[in-house]
Amino acid sequence: MKAVYFNNIKVLFGDENFEDCSSAMVIDHPELMQTFVQQFLTGFFDGDVCLRSANPDQLFKKFESQFKVIHAAGGVVRNDKNEYLFIHRFDKWDLPKGKVEPGESIEEAAIREVCEETGVDHLKVDGRLPDSYHIYHEKNTFILKRTCWFSMNTHSTTVLTPQTGEQITKAVWLSKEESLKSIRLSYRSLFNTLGYLFESETYIL
């Protein structure tokens, strides 16, 4: 089930029977979606919202059409010591990621961005992880950002180098326990999408 985050509030896109939100509504007309988006972006809702439809994927496309969409890619990277790669930026713990450039695949973008933001090398992609979605405001435009996540591993022993030009102040390896604590202090969209990776004892990259 897709979820989009803005100002710490989540919008879920579910079927007609889904009600796991403080507010739930059926959107069956484009004008209703436009009205909902305007209300959502101006702080009308003070809790999570579930938009319901017989076709949740089509409903999400209607929502997505109200925004400029940017595609990004990143990675959850583990090393030989069973440590995970985190960055610190804007006073938040985060995972390395960045925008997909024209002409490159999302997997290529994920590898490039992780390398650029942290200085790590010898990355190997193991598989796809759930995508995350969040909205932000830039230059008088509301942007919906989809980040495609990949599980990765590396045998690298290179000293990590944070990409200071992107306001990254730290690039560090954290234990699984430290990673869980850090992602809990990160963005809600990140924790809700990928936090389970650090809670599960059976997860293997």
Pairing of strands 123-138, 141-154: antiparallel
Across the range 46-67, mean pLDDT stands at 91
pLDDT in tens, 137-178: 999 999 999 999 999 999 999 999 999 999 999 999 999 999
Q: Spell out the domain ranges in the chain.
A: 3-64, 68-199
> Rounded to an integer, what is the distance from CA 40 to the centroid of its chain?
19
Name the residue type at position 103. G
CA separation for the pair 79, 152 (Å, rounded): 9
State if pTM tops 0.85. yes
What is the 8-class DSSP label of residue 2?
A: -
Report CA-CA distances (Å) from 185 to 55, 79, 91: 34, 22, 10
CA angle 82, 87, 91 (to 5 degrees): 135
CA separation for the pair 168, 185 (Å, rounded): 16
pLDDT-derived band of residue 28, with 50, 70 and 90 as boundaries? Answer: low
CA separation for the pair 81, 42 (Å, rounded): 46
pLDDT of 30 strictly over 80: no
pLDDT-derived band of residue 15, with 50, 70 and 90 as boundaries? Answer: confident
CB atoms within 10 A of CB 26: 13
* Helix/strand number for the chain, H first, E second: 6, 11
CATH number of 68-199: 3.90.79.10
